[in-house]
Structure 1
Amino acid sequence: MYLIIDIGGTYIKYGYYQKSGNCIQKYQIPTIKTSKEDFYQWIQKMIIKDVEGIGISMPGLIDSDKGYIHAITLLPFFNQTAFCKELKAYSDLPVTIQNDAKCATLGEMWKGSLKNVDNGFMLVLGSGIGGTCLLNGKIFETKHHKAGEVGSFLVPQGYQFSNFGREYNAVKLIHELSEILNCPDDGKIVFQHLPESSKAMKHFQNYCQQLAMMIYNLDYLLDLDVVTIGGGISQQPLFIQTIQEQFHILRERYKEDNHEPVIKACQYQNEANLLGALYTHITKKED
């Protein structure tokens, strides 16, 4: 049995998994944002009888082979950290770590929407935006661990620039829509009330157009068969449907060929990161 943990900007999801991918129990707590020592101590408390290893999914620039975090914006106390080495000192168990978008991709490659896909792209939308390239049936890895990180793409904001993940993440969208709708800042509630407001729908469609434009450009860069979208917001059928509609509008206006990728929600949604962290662990245990 393995302790598998997915660290997000708002919540930590974790569970106890068998090697097959079967989840025995799964939980969620608010993300620990105080210190890495508090983080390690919490993980130590989660190690129960029969746990034989720990697999971690986390955002940031991560060297999975060395278990090293180069940079993570959401939890800066982990910047430049030999994470697996440090956590092993607390747990005395094999530890593996992988970028969360890559974990989601691996989970979907193992059991979901990217199984048997040659060229694909995974977008993970949460408090930031993660991305992973799948080329010739394998995750495209690079020396500096930046390939696929579309959240860091620069986008114009007036006369200045911001990055794509800061401006178009799902948490920001839900907050903006909740203000327009004057409803609680909760994704499920927002989508229940969204069709009631033309102003909110217009804002939502503009957001989906930005994602569709990103997918359009990525397709011409990578020649994609499938683009799969993860994160909690991907569970909303209207979200995927509207991105598809906005993508087809762009294709009708600007297409230069007849091929276009399939755009769909990832099959395992919020669990894809956990499955990918498990897959990373069972296929590449720490030495």
Structure 2
Amino acid sequence: MYLVIDVGGTYTKYGYYNKEGHCFENGQFETIKTNRMAFYESLEKLVQQNTKGIALSMPGILNAQTGEMLAVTLLPFLNHHNIKEELQERTKLPVSIQNDAKCAALGEMWQGSLQNMSNAFMLVFGSGIGGTIIMNGELVDSPRHKAGEVGCLLAPETLDYSSVYNISKSDSGIALIRDLSQAIGCEPDGQIVFQKLFDHQEARQIFQAFCRRIAMLIYNLDYLFDLDAVSIGGGISAQEILISTIQEEFQKMRDLHQEDDHQPIIQACTFLNGANLLGALHYYLKTIEKN
């Protein structure tokens, strides 16, 4: 049995899997954000007697081969630490680590929406925005492991560029739910927000603008990478209205600005919020057990 852990900016999700990708038990808890030792202790508590190894999905820029965390703004106390080595030392178990968006892409390539796709992009909406490029059926990495990190992109707020915003901070899933809940006047709970969304004009406008920005991002990514498909993951990907509105906004742009006849499929990923876990397991099996 394998312990698979997906660390997020708000919650840490975990599950116990066999090598076929079947999950026997899962759960979640609030991500520890105080210090490195407390963070590791929260993961160690999940190890059971028959755990063969640990597959870890993490936000941020990291070297999956060495295990070093290069940059993670959500958990800065982990920066420049070798999480793989440190967790192996503490648990005496083999550990793999991979970026969360890359894990989502791997899970979908293994058993989900990106099977047999040649060129694709994975977008994951959570506390930030994760991105992964797939070219010729393989994940794209780069010497500094930044390729695909669309959440780090900047966009102008004013015409003279005197003010810019970070896409990951302004257009993440958490940010969308926060902005909608403030407009509606309810608690920032995704289920409640989407139930009440179309009863409030201001919230509808915020939602429409969000989907338009994501559609433009996808439009630009398609011309950079000539995509067959874009899969959208994270908690809000379960909301059908999100996917359909992004599709509608993308089609509006295509109708006005298209330069060719091809356009990518835009879809929710098959495993939604669980794609990161499945992909982390797949990465462990490929790199640790080499199956």
User: Shorter chain as normaliser: what TM range?
Assistant: over 0.9
Partner amino acid, structure 2, of 1:75: L
Greater CA drift, 168-177 or 259-268: 168-177
Query: Partner residue of 1:33?
Result: 33
**What is the alpha-carbon distance in structure 2 between the residues aligned to residue 65 and residue 274 of structure 1?**
18
Identity between Structure 1 and Structure 2 (%): 50
Q: 3-state DSSP class of the match of 2:27? A: strand
In the alignment, does 2:270 pair up with 1:267?
A: yes
**What is the alpha-carbon distance in structure 1 between the residues aligned to residue 238 and residue 44 of structure 2?**
32
In the alignment, does 2:65 pair up with 1:81?
A: no
**What is the alpha-carbon distance in structure 2 between the residues aligned to residue 39 and residue 171 of structure 1?**
22
In the alignment, does 2:232 pair up with 1:229?
A: yes
Tell me which of 211, 215, 218 is aligned to 2:214. 211
**What is the alpha-carbon distance in structure 2 between the residues aligned to residue 199 and residue 60 of structure 1?**
33
Q: 3-state DSSP class of the match of 2:5? A: strand
Offset, 1:45: 1.8
Offset, 1:162: 2.0
Query: Partner residue of 1:177?
Result: 180
Query: Partner residue of 1:277?
Result: 280
Partner amino acid, structure 2, of 1:176: D
1:116-265 equivalences under 5 Å are 116-158=116-158, 159-265=162-268
Q: How many residues align?
A: 287
Contact 1:133 1:148 in 2 (8 A): yes
**What is the alpha-carbon distance in structure 2 between the residues aligned to residue 253 and residue 59 of structure 1?**
36
1:16-95 equivalences under 5 Å are 16-95=16-95
What are the ranges of 5 or more consecutive residues in structure 1 without an aligned counterpart? none
In the alignment, does 2:3 pair up with 1:3?
A: yes
Q: 3-state DSSP class of the match of 2:288? A: coil
**What is the alpha-carbon distance in structure 1 between the residues aligned to residue 40 and residue 190 of structure 2?**
30
The runs of at least 4 consecutive aligned structure 1 residues that moved more than 4 Å come to none
Q: 3-state DSSP class of the match of 1:130? A: strand
What are the ranges of 5 or more consecutive residues in structure 2 without an aligned counterpart? none
Q: 3-state DSSP class of the match of 1:259? A: coil
Tell me the TM-score normalized by structure 1.
0.98
In the alignment, does 2:103 pair up with 1:103?
A: yes
Contact 1:32 1:38 in 2 (8 A): yes
Contact 1:227 1:261 in 2 (8 A): yes
Offset, 1:286: 8.3
**What is the alpha-carbon distance in structure 1 between the residues aligned to residue 264 and residue 272 of structure 2?**
19
